Amino acid sequence: MATMTFADALNDAHRIEMRRDPNVFVVGEDVGIYGGIFGVTKGLLEEFGEMRVRDTPITESAFVGCAVGAAAAGLRPVAELMFVDFIGVCLDQIYNQGAKMRYMFGGKARIPLVLRASCGAGIGAAAQHSQCLEAWFMHVPGLKVVMPSTPADAKGLLISAIRDDNPVVFLEHKLLYATEGEVPEGECTVPLGKADVKRKGEDVTVVATAAMVPKALAAAETLAAEGIGVEVVDPRTLLPLDEETILASVKKTHRLVVVHEAVKFAGPGGEIAAMVAEKAFDYLDAPILRVAAPFSPVPFSPPLEQAFIPSEERIAQAVREVVGA
Amino acid sequence: MSITREKLVDAYTTMVKIRTFEEHAAQLFAEGKIPGFVHLYVGEEAVAAGVCATLRDSDYITSTHRGHGHLISKGGDVKRMMAELFGKRTGYCKGKGGSMHIADMTLGIMGANGIVGGGPPLAAGAGFACKYLGRDDVAVCFFGDGAANQGTTHEAMNLASCWKLPVVFVNENNRYGISCSVDRATCVTDIADKAAAFDMPAVSVDGNDLMAVYEAASEAVERARRGAGPTLIECKTYRQRGHFEGDPAGYRSPEEVAEWKAKDPIPRLEKKLLEMGVLAEDRIREIRAGVLAEVEEAVRFAEESPLPDPSEVTEDVYA
Ligand SMILES: Cc1ncc(C[n+]2csc(CCOP(=O)(O)OP(=O)(O)O)c2C)c(N)n1
Ligand SMILES: [Mg+2]
């Protein structure tokens, strides 16, 4: 184990896979000379050279589409979209091309692609640089969607994503890049589609994603002092969703709160809540609650932005509500 | 189409105002008073000032992430802009947008933009609206050398040319899109050459020469007003600071930066105006003092203004 930041853990995963497989290459804006705007690809150009670490012009359609095409032709691209908000510029290449080629061709194509992107609010980056758009990708058959919350998960999941033969959208909350944690050294994988119970508890299940996981854990700590046992489940992969782990937890606690930073309406929490309602209704002792962002773009000004992002206190309040405290 | 003395003084004042505003913004950002991202226009002032000197209030502009200079040149209010940078309720966007989204629809300023290449199609749309409504107003699209490669930019130029829209595409070629130099991002030496694909008239000018920019822009704006279609103007310039405040900018050499600082558009124009007898030293001091007072007042206004109330988050989503 080594202590490292989330950004360094991702960097480590790139290095391990690029050393192991000569067909893995990195492509995106400012990934080479600059080392990635959040520092994730730092030093890769120096180690692997220009053929494998490719700075691109500001042309998301071209380089994301190029990654899809290169994947179809036998390479394993890791493309970096600086902010997930820019997906609008290049969406066709990922959702109509990359995600559907295999199916449309009757199973005759393989698209081993990772599209990494930063997401999330909290740094005053305003409406076009702060969104959580995981629900958009969750609506596309053919994609996988990953959203880690710890450095160790980030590393293990990225390695698995690179080795996966499908297009994987890998979402990195920008507030997590500087967070530190214990990370296994060398090759280590975390399987896609497997949730992780981040804290055990008996009274309420809180399913939380990305930057909401540390907040849910902090809320759980506060609630423990009030005598409420909270189990925090991090799906880690949203598509495919690990229904089994979530259902097992709900069947134990009989209560569910779903927390995410994406807007609540038609957000990822709706899918999780519906799945539990369909498959474990009889186990529920209280209505399922969702804690998520209000239905607005992300505002710039700090007091507005803080009001937009679900807080530890709002999570704790929702938990108190479902236990009737 | 040579520029009048009065317009020269106005354009000079605008350039000094942009520089002063940006220097204050840099300082305030460093002090932690301005949150988020700030992209400064230092070194590129002649482009916005020269182009907007040919426009009227009812004309439109689309701006970029580096938008302070565009807003000031189009007649925007530095108080409301500074307040917006601070995230205050008195700001142009009530604190909802910040530096990357400042806008003044009453002056035809259709917003700074967080999306590179987001502006060109909007400019085509504003131009179309002018044509449709029988107005002789025009739309000017400011966009960077980086944005010049985006599909949206090419698509918008094609549409504007096919439909003979009253649009002027003003490329701010400051040689970099963050760390990516223009030599690595495109294969033409002059971005103006791209217009050939759309059969659009184009010219490449020294973007640090206010008069050259003005001349090219007035010709293009005049062509657009009389219904003869769009033009592409490439302005070769340089951003003197990092891409955003806090960017160490290790991707370019100190020699290169020094070389361009020597070509700074403001002293250059000042020297010319002195030589031409348009301005005297004491008038220059007066202009500078007036601008400084205005920007300092804007900072005071921003500092003293209230923050928005958290309940305002969900306001303004729909009309
Ligand atoms: C669609 C999109 N891609 C990438 C970015 C990130 N980004 C912001 S500014 C910038 C560079 C823009 O370069 P250029 O158009 O030359 O303008 P300059 O910054 O030089 O004024 C980049 C890559 C973005 N905001 N939007
Ligand atoms: Mg540029």
Complex ipTM value: 0.96
Token output for B218: 């007035």
The answer to whether the CB of B46 falls within 8 A of the CB of B265 is yes
User: CA B2, CA A174: separation in Å to the nearest integer?
Assistant: 50
Using the beta-carbon criterion (under 8 Å), do B97 and A37 form an inter-chain contact?
Answer: no
Which residues lie below 8 Å from residue A290, measured CB to CB, with a gap of 6+? A257, A258, A259, A260, A264, A267, A269, A270, A273
Domain count, chain A: 2
CA of B238 to the centre of ligand 2 (A): 8
B65 close to ligand 1 (CB < 6 Angstrom)? yes
- In tens, the pLDDT along A26-71 reads 999 999 999 999 999 999 999 999 999 999 999 999 999 999 999 9
Q: Are residues A279 and A308 in the same domain?
A: yes
Residue A231 host element (H or E): strand A230-234
- In tens, the pLDDT along B151-191 reads 999 999 999 999 999 999 999 999 999 999 999 999 999 99
What backbone phi and psi angles, to 5 degrees, belong to B233? -115, 120
CATH of the domain at A273: 3.40.50.920
B176 close to ligand 1 (CB < 6 Angstrom)? yes
- In tens, the pLDDT along B269-316 reads 999 999 999 999 999 999 999 999 999 999 999 999 999 999 999 999
Cross-strand pairs, A169? A115, A145
Q: Are residues A175 and A202 in the same domain?
A: no
Mean pLDDT of B200-208: 98
Q: Are residues A134 and A277 in the same domain?
A: no
Is the per-residue pLDDT at A224 higher than 70? Answer: yes
Mean pLDDT for chain B overall: 98
Q: Which residues of B touch A30 (CB under 8 A)?
A: 178-180
Is the per-residue pLDDT at A21 higher than 90? Answer: yes
User: CA A283, CA A278: separation in Å to the nearest integer?
Assistant: 11
Helices (H), chain A: 6-20, 44-48, 60-72, 87-92, 101-104, 134-138, 151-163, 212-225, 243-253, 268-280, 302-308, 312-323
- In tens, the pLDDT along B71-93 reads 999 999 999 999 999 999 999 99
| Interface membership of A124 toward B (CB under 8 Å) | yes
Tell me the pLDDT band of B199, cut-offs 50, 70 and 90.
Answer: very high
Does residue A190 form part of some domain?
A: no
Is the per-residue pLDDT at B230 higher than 90? Answer: yes
Q: Are residues A216 and A269 in the same domain?
A: yes
Cα atoms in the Cβ-side hemisphere of radius 13 Å centred on B186: 21
Q: Are residues A138 and A229 in the same domain?
A: no
Mean pLDDT of B137-141: 98
Q: Give the C-alpha distances (Å, rounded to integers) separating A96 from A1, B235, B283.
A: 41, 38, 62
> Which of the following CATH numbers is that of domain B5-306: 3.10.129.10, 3.40.50.970, 3.40.47.10, 3.40.50.720?
3.40.50.970
In sequence order, what DSSP letters do the residues of B269-301 get, joined into one string? HHHHHHHHTS--HHHHHHHHHHHHHHHHHHHHH
Q: Are residues A235 and A161 in the same domain?
A: no
| Interface membership of A218 toward B (CB under 8 Å) | no
Does residue A304 form part of some domain?
A: yes
CA of B72 to the centre of ligand 2 (A): 20
B66 close to ligand 1 (CB < 6 Angstrom)? yes
Does residue A188 form part of some domain?
A: no
Q: Are residues A281 and A238 in the same domain?
A: yes
Q: Are residues A26 and A133 in the same domain?
A: yes
Does residue A189 form part of some domain?
A: no
Does residue A191 form part of some domain?
A: no
Mean pLDDT of A120-145: 98
Is the per-residue pLDDT at B2 higher than 90? Answer: no
Question: Could you tell me the residue range of the domain that residue A138 belongs to?
Answer: 2-183
Pairing of strands A168-173, A144-146: parallel
Q: Are residues A108 and A217 in the same domain?
A: no
Q: Is B232 exposed, middle or buried (0-12, 13-18, 19+ CB in 10 A)?
A: buried
pLDDT of residue A325: 80
| Interface membership of A30 toward B (CB under 8 Å) | yes
| Interface membership of A311 toward B (CB under 8 Å) | no
Using the beta-carbon criterion (under 8 Å), do B100 and A89 form an inter-chain contact?
Answer: no
Mean pLDDT of A283-311: 98
Q: Closest partner residue to A124 among B36, B147, B180, by Cβ?
A: B36
Mean pLDDT of B232-241: 98
B126 close to ligand 1 (CB < 6 Angstrom)? no
Q: Give the C-alpha distances (Å, rounded to integers) separating B47 from A88, A280, A289, B52, B95.
A: 29, 63, 53, 8, 28
Q: Are residues A25 and A120 in the same domain?
A: yes
Point out the residues of A that are catalytic.
129
- pTM beyond cutoff 0.95: yes
CA of A127 to the centre of ligand 1 (A): 16
In B, what residues contact A, Cβ < 8 A? 35-37, 87-88, 93, 95-98, 100-101, 113-118, 146-147, 149-152, 177-180, 184-186, 251, 307-314, 317
Which residues lie below 8 Å from residue A175, measured CB to CB, with a gap of 6+? A120, A122, A123, A211
CA of B173 to the centre of ligand 2 (A): 6
B116 close to ligand 1 (CB < 6 Angstrom)? yes
Token output for B303: 């500092």
Q: Are residues A106 and A253 in the same domain?
A: no
What backbone phi and psi angles, to 5 degrees, belong to A89? -70, -25
Q: Are residues A37 and A149 in the same domain?
A: yes
pLDDT of residue B1: 52
What percent of chain A is modeled with pLDDT above 70?
100
**Closest atom of ligand 1 relative to the B65 alpha carbon:** 9
User: CA B49, CA B214: separation in Å to the nearest integer?
Assistant: 8
Q: State which amino acid sits at residue B178.
A: I
